[in-house]
Copies of this chain bind each other. A is one copy, B any other.
Amino acid sequence: MINKEDFRRKIIVSAGQIFSRFGFKKTTMDEIAKALKMGKSSIYYYFESKEEIFEAVVLYEANILRNELTTAIKSVESPVDKMRNYVFVRMKSFEKLSNYYNAIFDKNLDHFDFIETIREKYDREELAILRLILYHGARKKVFNVVNSEYTAMAIQTTLKGLEVPLFWKKKEVNIESRLNAILDVLFNGIIKK
């Protein structure tokens, strides 16, 4: 058969699709197992818990996104506007991540209102980015869902940190340093470069 590590990735991909659709809480181990056409208990041979699967999924997706964003921004000619455009096109990836964010807060829907509030203040391109931000800000909270106030603060802090590299209008700032600044804010502490 195939490698054990390969099968782990298979689980990550498959479970990731379900997680991204329904969030952490609403995704059941039975569903993950059924999607993989295997018994529920078999999964525990590869992962210790549902949370461990989710953690692996987030890491996996974040790495993909990081690469996408890197090449995306680097390939842009006219800096600011085109970059925004591209990010808008890439909506889907971000949307996927936003679901992870939803996953975290699926206990109290108040945070959906938070998203809606932001949706009103920014146009669509920025919303896409904001979702990414939310994903990042919420990550620390993933396995400790209780204290929602703290998470909201974390998200806002991340937002604040992104304002400069993302929405700064000065054209003289070159795209490379801009990218690095964004990635720093978004992925600092999550993914080793």
Contact = CB atoms under 8 A, between A and B. Distances in A.
Contacts of A30: 108
Interface string A7-29: 00000000000100110001000
Contacts of A113: 21
A107 B22 contact: no
Nearest to A17: B107
A34 interface: yes
A109 B35 contact: yes
Identical subunits present: 2
A31 interface: yes
Interface residues of A, number: 14
A172 interface: no
Contacts of A34: 106-109
Contact of A107 (B26, B35, B108, B116): B35
Given A31-B109, A34-B108, A34-B109, 13 more contacts: A18-B107, A21-B113, A21-B116, A22-B22, A22-B26, A26-B26, A30-B108, A31-B107, A31-B108, A34-B106, A34-B107, A35-B107, A35-B109
Interface of A: 18, 21-22, 26, 30-31, 34-35, 106-109, 113, 116
